[in-house]
Each structure stands twice: as structure tokens, then as C-alpha cells.
């Protein structure tokens, strides 16, 4: 299988070290377009689409493989192996963050640092853990998606994006959700929103930066604090940005925090 074609891999930039950007649910590599220009003079930039998103090869979709986030993490590792990369800096957004964490656990020698934007290891509240959602609410949302995906996208995307003073951002996320393969995306949603990767955080040895937005209904502040405590070598930054997609709503802040972390 041509891994590069499967995940629509794009590689550019003038540097030696690679920054690999992994997008979140319902999105594609285009979501990084405001961030990557700041790094392409000093780094090699690697963009890709998860199978079922963007211009990936949907024929490569295997429901059994992608019945866990580990299937997506295996793709990340395979892309790095196909390009003979090492000491990769992986930047993940939302569920893409956890995919990066799992990739680093699979092949820790491949990754130098992880930069996690709005990550969550578990979206469902559990005893003294606050993930942001009750299980019944997640199941209801998944049922809504299954029965009327496009109505779900139109109603939920603006809530996920936040920043109601800039409705064009919510509109872009609606279009992104609607441009994916809907059957694959519905399955991806079940896998993502019902996953629990809290035990994996304790195993992670890779240096990690956690960026946390306020007013984020997908990854509330409690989740960012939990991850910071669970990951041994982690740095926590609370952003001024609001909502769940600061790579679109506040890219300059993302760039600044990344640069400060990478140059520290």
C-alpha cells in the first residue's frame, strides 16, 4: 500500500527537523494553513489526512483497523517509517492529539516532542474524573449523527468552534464536517467519543506541551489539568483563545506558544 497516497501526505519546508501536524475529528490538513507558514523556513512540514478525511484514499478504510484510535496511530507511525523520519515533533489537535500520544507509545524513538492542542483522553465523566459529558449525552449525540448527520453538523459545529462573534469560523467547520466521508466520520466519532486512553497517559515518556483553551465544550479546563498531572514530562499552557479550534480562531497565539516551547 502506498502510505503517502493513502494519507494524502504533503511534505515541504526548508529545515532538517520535521514537524508533523495531525488534524482532529471532521477536519483535514487544511486546518493548519494559518500555522504552518511560521515554521516552514526552519522546519520540514508534514501534513496528512486521516483515512476518510480530506483527500485521503477512502478505499484504504478498514473498519476493524480503525475501530480503535490505535489504528490511526499506526498510520502516523507508518508515514514516519515510509519517509525515514526521526525525532519528529508531532502537533495534534483534539483527537489528533491522542492519536499522536498512541503513536509515541507505539514507537517512542520516532518522536522528540508532542504538542497537544485541546486534547482529551476521555470525553465521558467517570467518578471523580470530569470529561465534560455524561455517557447518555454522548450516546444521544451519536444517535443524532447517525440519523441526520448534516443537521448534526449544522447545529454542533458552531458550538464546537465557539467564537460566536465570528460566525464564519463555525461555517467553515460545518463545511469541513460535511465534506468528509460521512459513514467513516460517523464511525470515527463513535471510536473517538467512546474511547478512554487515560491509562496510556501514565506510560508516556515523550516530552509534551498541552495547550488548553477556555470555553471549550469538547475539552474543558479540568481535562487539560488532568493530562498535565498524568503525563510525566509535560508543560501546560492555558491559552487566551476560546473554543475548540484555536488553530483557526487564534493561530498567532498557537504559533507564539509553539515557538516559545520549541526554543526553550
Percentage above 70 pLDDT, the chain: 100
* Cα distance between residue 238 and residue 185, in whole Å: 29
Known catalytic residues are 94, 216, 244
Element (H, E) at 99: helix 95-106
182, three cell numbers = 460521512
Question: Per-residue pLDDT tens for 84-98?
Answer: 999 999 999 999 999
Terminal Cα distance for the chain, rounded: 39
Is residue 234 over pLDDT 90? yes
pTM as predicted? 0.96
**pLDDT of amino acid 56:** 96
pLDDT average, residue stretch 151-178? 92
* Cα distance between residue 206 and residue 229, in whole Å: 14
Cβ atoms 43, 18 nearer than 8 A? yes
Is residue 1 over pLDDT 80? no
**pLDDT of amino acid 149:** 94
Is residue 191 over pLDDT 80? yes
* Cα distance between residue 210 and residue 228, in whole Å: 7
Among candidate residues 84, 74, 78, the one with its CA nearest the CA of residue 105: 74
Question: Per-residue pLDDT tens for 220-229?
Answer: 999 999 999 9
Place of cell 447545529: 155
Question: Per-residue pLDDT tens for 26-59?
Answer: 999 999 999 999 999 999 999 999 999 999 999 9
Question: Per-residue pLDDT tens for 193-207?
Answer: 999 999 999 999 999
206, three cell numbers = 515523550
Among candidate residues 220, 58, 13, the one with its CA nearest the CA of residue 124: 220
Among candidate residues 163, 166, 167, 143, the one with its CA nearest the CA of residue 154: 167
Domains belonging to the chain, first-starting first, are 3-263 (3.40.50.1820)
Is residue 180 over pLDDT 90? no
Question: Per-residue pLDDT tens for 250-260?
Answer: 999 999 999 99
Among candidate residues 162, 164, 261, the one with its CA nearest the CA of residue 217: 162
Amino acid at each position: 500500500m502506498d502510505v503517502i497516497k493513502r494519507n494524502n501526505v504533503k511534505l515541504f519546508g526548508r529545515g532538517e527537523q520535521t514537524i508533523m501536524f495531525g488534524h482532529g475529528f471532521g477536519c483535514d490538513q487544511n486546518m493548519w494553513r494559518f500555522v504552518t507558514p511560521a515554521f516552514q523556513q526552519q522546519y520540514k512540514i508534514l501534513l496528512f489526512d486521516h483515512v476518510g478525511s480530506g483527500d485521503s484514499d477512502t478505499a484504504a478504510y478498514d473498519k476493524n483497523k480503525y475501530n480503535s484510535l490505535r489504528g490511526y496511530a499506526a498510520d502516523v507511525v507508518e508515514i514516519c517509517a515510509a519517509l525515514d523520519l526521526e525525532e519528529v515533533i508531532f502537533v495534534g489537535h483534539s483527537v489528533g492529539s491522542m492519536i499522536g500520544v498512541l503513536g509515541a507509545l507505539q514507537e517512542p524513538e520516532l518522536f522528540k516532542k508532542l504538542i497537544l492542542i485541546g486534547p482529551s483522553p476521555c470525553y465521558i465523566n467517570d467518578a471523580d474524573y470530569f470529561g465534560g459529558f455524561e455517557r447518555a449525552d454522548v450516546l444521544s449525540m451519536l444517535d443524532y449523527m447517525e440519523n441526520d448527520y448534516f443537521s448534526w453538523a449544522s447545529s454542533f459545529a458552531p458550538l464546537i468552534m465557539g467564537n460566536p462573534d465570528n460566525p464564519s469560523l463555525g461555517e467553515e467547520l460545518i463545511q469541513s464536517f460535511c465534506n468528509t466521508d460521512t459513514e467513516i466520520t460517523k464511525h470515527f466519532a463513535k471510536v473517538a467519543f467512546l474511547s478512554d486512553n487515560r491509562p496510556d497517559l501514565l506510560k508516556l515518556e515523550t516530552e509534551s506541551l498541552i495547550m488548553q483553551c477556555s470555553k471549550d465544550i469538547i475539552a474543558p479546563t479540568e481535562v487539560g489539568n488532568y493530562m498535565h498531572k498524568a503525563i510525566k514530562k509535560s508543560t501546560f499552557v492555558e491559552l487566551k483563545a476560546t473554543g475548540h479550534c484555536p488553530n483557526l480562531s487564534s493561530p498567532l497565539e498557537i504559533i507564539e506558544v509553539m515557538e516559545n516551547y520549541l526554543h526553550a
